[in-house]
Structure 1
Amino acid sequence: MGMETLVAVCLGIGMSAACGFRVFLPLLVLNLVARFGEVGVAPGLDWLSGEPATIVLAIATTAEVLGFYIPVIDNLLGVLEAPAAIIAGTLVSASVLGDLHPALQWGAAIVAGGGTAGIVEGATVATRAASTGLTGGLANPVVSTLELLSALVLSLLALLVPVLAVITLIVALVLSIRYLRKIFRRRHDRPPAIPS
């Protein structure tokens, strides 16, 4: 595997992970960067760099971001976004892996891109469930803001320093898993309430 391919794979994984936080924002970021010629998009997926895609992705991103600040809808969106995140992660990975043979391009996109987006989306759903359970949903706007910032920062980091984006992703996932385990242990270790 050449250095360019390794960078493209890291770019795809970083952008896919960002799709696990917010489905449409990383696609919009990729669209804008591709429109200005900073990143090439694979043949057959060049529609991702067009003006119609910019308009549709900007509307979808706005609706998605606002939806996560509406109680009840935020949890529903979190559940509905799981398959969408996997599809978006696959698509964004395939779009930056254009130098590979199509079978390798789509195989890597499905496994690495879709898989990464699915793992991150699963972590966000678990975090949101923990937030809802522990705070009755009061902390969900904070969680939504952190997810939005994570999607934006990870998208930009993946575009600027793809290898660092993957390292950041791994560290963040390890820390998130440890934190969630600690929360669930605390809830499990609590003595049962004595009925009065």
Structure 2
Amino acid sequence: MDALSAAAFGVVLAATAGLRAFLPVFSASLFAWMTDLPLPDNLAWLERAQTVLIFGVATLLEILGDKIPIVDHALDGIQVLTKPVLAALAATPFIYQLAPEQSVAIGILLGAPLALGVHSAKATARLGSTATTAGVGNPLLSIAEDVAAVAAIVVGFLAPLLALLLMAVTIFFIVRLALRVRRRRRAAGSARS
């Protein structure tokens, strides 16, 4: 993977952290473990088998927990803090291929806001689903998020620049959906007043 493709893949991983916090870090760790991806010294632990296992288990627990309506809201609340950090962690090894000296700073400045933006839009859509379906639609929405996250990572690995373009389009539609849900909630609140 050339440096530009690696950086694009890092950005895709960061945005994907907005949907699933641990999946992108698990993917980055798995990629580092399976390949000869050069890592900064402070991230050499990412390529250890134990790290891959820990992030794999965390990914599985997050995916399963997100299917339970009460747990999904608790995860969304906690992950407001963790997703930006995990996004930066997932992106940094790949951005390192393009800009070694600034990789951590770029990972934090780019990855964290991307993940937080995607997470905010997703959480807003999830609240709308809870309000309109009494939580019954949340597991289906969660499965759609799983599929989108895995697809983004697979496409990001195979065609990073295409994945970056698709990610931008997806983020646009997620934000649009979140704004629509917000407008409906405000309109419903105004109608009750």
TM-score normalized by structure 1?
Answer: 0.87
Q: Distance in 1 between matches of 2:78 and 2:90?
A: 19
Q: Distance in 2 between matches of 1:166 and 1:119?
A: 16
Q: Which residue of 2 aligns with 1:171?
A: 169
Q: 1:128 aligns with which of 126, 129, 147?
A: 126
Q: 2:106 aligns with which of 105, 108, 115?
A: 108
Q: Report Cα offsets for 1:16-65 as digits up to 9, x if no partner.
A: 1111111111222222222221x614222121121001211121111111
Q: Report Cα offsets for 1:59-105 as digits up to 9, x if no partner.
A: 11111111111221110101111221100111111111224243x11
Q: Report Cα offsets for 1:115-136 as digits up to 9, x if no partner.
A: 2111111111111111111111
Which of the pair is proportionally richer in helix? 2
Q: Are the equivalent residues in 2 in contact too, given 1:19–1:85 (CA < 8 A)? A: yes
**Change in 2 beyond 3 A, CA 1:113/1:192:** closer
Q: Are the equivalent residues in 2 in contact too, given 1:41–1:48 (CA < 8 A)? A: no
SS at match of 2:40: coil
Q: Distance in 1 between matches of 2:171 and 2:3?
A: 24
Q: Distance in 1 between matches of 2:122 and 2:18?
A: 8
Farther-moved stretch of structure 1 (23-32 vs 121-130)? 23-32
**Change in 2 beyond 3 A, CA 1:101/1:55:** closer
Q: Tell me the CA shift for residue 14 of structure 1.
A: 0.2
SS at match of 1:20: coil
Q: Which residue of 2 aligns with 1:40?
A: 37
Q: Which residue of 2 aligns with 1:73?
A: 71
Q: Tell me the CA shift for residue 183 of structure 1.
A: 3.4
Farther-moved stretch of structure 1 (120-129 vs 177-186)? 177-186
SS at match of 1:72: helix
2:157 paired with 1:159: yes
Q: Are the equivalent residues in 2 in contact too, given 1:41–1:49 (CA < 8 A)? A: no
Q: Distance in 2 between matches of 1:32 and 1:57?
A: 9
Q: Kindly tell me the number of residue pairs found equivalent between the two proteins.
A: 190
Q: Tell me the CA shift for residue 5 of structure 1.
A: 3.9
Kindly report which structure 2 residues correspond to 1:57-72, keeping only aligned pairs within 5 A, or say none.
Answer: 57-72=55-70
Kindly report which structure 2 residues correspond to 1:77-88, keeping only aligned pairs within 5 A, or say none.
Answer: 77-88=75-86
Q: Which residue of 2 aligns with 1:27?
A: 25
% of aligned pairs identical? Answer: 26
Runs of 4+ in 1 over 6 A off after TM superposition: none
Where structure 1 has 5 or more consecutive residues not aligned to the other structure, the ranges are none
Q: Distance in 1 between matches of 2:159 and 2:44?
A: 23
Q: Which residue of 2 aligns with 1:183?
A: 181
Where structure 2 has 5 or more consecutive residues not aligned to the other structure, the ranges are none
